[in-house]
Amino acid sequence: MSYDKNNIFAKILRKEIPCKKIYENDYVLSFYDINPQKKIHALVIPKGLYTDLDDFIRNAKETEIIEFFKAITHVADLLKVSNISGGYRTLSNIGKDGGQEVPHLHFHIFGGEIVGKMVT
């Protein structure tokens, strides 16, 4: 699947639409989900244009991959949901069967309460 430059997260990265930013560096942007499913619901996205996790792992530079996964833990620390303060769930939906709605790689971070069953 080729990358759709008109997806909503591409527009957020280009600052065409706003987001409630949590963290940003050269490689990633993190912001609150507009429709939170848990008390804390954040998203972490790479600045590189990748449709999903498979595209990212196959095509991104190692530095991009390392910085992306480091950023998830950093954001969990900023949100005070890391495993020293209760824990959280991170997940990434991939493609149609995975329930992915926005075709720019993102990891969800859910926390601030017991998240519940893994899959519904």
94 binding ligand AMP? (CB under 6 A): no
Rank residues 82 and 93 by Cβ distance to ligand AMP and give the closer one: 93
* Whether 108 is catalytic: no
CA 97 to chain centre: 18
Choosing from 41, 74, 104, 106, the catalytic residue is 106
Task: Give the integer Cα–Cα distance in Å for 57 and 78.
Answer: 25
120 binding ligand AMP? (CB under 6 A): no
Among 24, 33, 69, 86, binds ligand AMP (CB under 6 A): 33
82 binding ligand AMP? (CB under 6 A): no
Among 8, 49, 65, 78, binds ligand AMP (CB under 6 A): 8
Rank residues 35 and 83 by Cβ distance to ligand AMP and give the closer one: 35
Task: Give the integer Cα–Cα distance in Å for 28 and 25.
Answer: 6
- Partners of 110 in beta bridges: 41, 89
Binding site for ligand AMP (CB under 6 A): 8, 19, 33-35, 43, 93, 99-102
